[in-house]
Structure 1
Amino acid sequence: MELTSTAFAPQGDIPRRHTCEGEDIAPPLLWGGVPDATRSLVLIVDDPDAPDPAAPQRTWVHWVLVDIPPGAAGLPEGGHPLPAGTRAGLNDWHRQGYGGPCPPIGRHRYFFKLYALDTTLPALHQPTKAAIEQAMQGHVLARAELVGTYQKSRP
Structure 2
Amino acid sequence: MSTPFDHLPHVPALTLTSSDLADGAELAPPQYSAMFGVPGGEDRSPQLTWSGAPQGTKSFVVSVYDPQAPTPSGFWHWMVVDIPAEVTQLDAGVQVLPGTAWTVKNDARAAQFIGAAPPPGTVDQYAFAVQALDIASVKELGLDTEATPAFVSFNVLPHVIARGTIIAVGRR
TM over 0.5: yes
1:84 is displaced (CA, Å) by 1.5
CA positional deviation for 1:150? 1.1
Out of 79, 85, 103, the position equivalent to 1:70 is: 85
* Contact 1:17-1:25 within 8 A present in 2 as well: yes
Question: In the alignment, residue 121 of structure 1 is paired with which amino acid?
Answer: V
Deviation (angstroms), 1:16: 0.8
- Secondary structure at the aligned position of 1:50 is classed as coil
CA–CA distance in structure 1, aligned partners of residues 115 and 26 of structure 2: 13
Q: Deviations over 1:20-48 (max 9, x none)?
A: 23222111111111112101111121101
Distance 1:82 1:13 in 2: 26
Alpha-carbon distance, 1:130 to partner = 2.0
8 Å contact kept, 2:134–2:161: yes
**In the alignment, what sits opposite 2:96?**
81
Q: After alignment, is 11-20 or 122-131 more displaced? A: 122-131
Could you say which residue in structure 2 is the equivalent of 1:12? 25
SS of the aligned residue for 2:30 comes to helix
RMSD: 1.4
Amino acid at match of 1:109: Q
Task: Please state how far the C-alpha of 1:3 moved relative to its aligned partner.
Answer: 1.0
Structure 2 residue aligned with 1:92, among 90, 94, 107? Answer: 107
| Number of equivalences | 148
Query: CA separation in 2, counterparts of 1:87 and 1:8?
Result: 23
Q: Is the 8 A contact 1:62 1:91 kept in 2?
A: yes
Look up the match of 2:48.
29
Q: Secondary structure of 1:77's partner?
A: coil
Q: Which runs of 5+ in 1 are unaligned?
A: none
Please name the residue that 2:171 is paired with: 151
Structure 2: unaligned runs, 5 residues or longer: 1-13, 34-38
Within the candidate set 8, 16, 28, 1:3 is matched to 16
Distance 1:31 1:69 in 2: 13
Q: What pairs with 1:71-150 in structure 2 (closer than 5 Å)?
A: 71-105=86-120, 106-119=122-135, 120-122=137-139, 123-150=143-170
Q: Percent identity?
A: 31
Partner of 1:145, secondary structure, is: strand
* Corresponding letter in the other structure for 1:118: D
Q: TM (normalized to structure 1)?
A: 0.89
Name the counterpart of 1:39.
Answer: 58
Counterpart-to-counterpart distance in 2, 1:126 and 1:66: 13
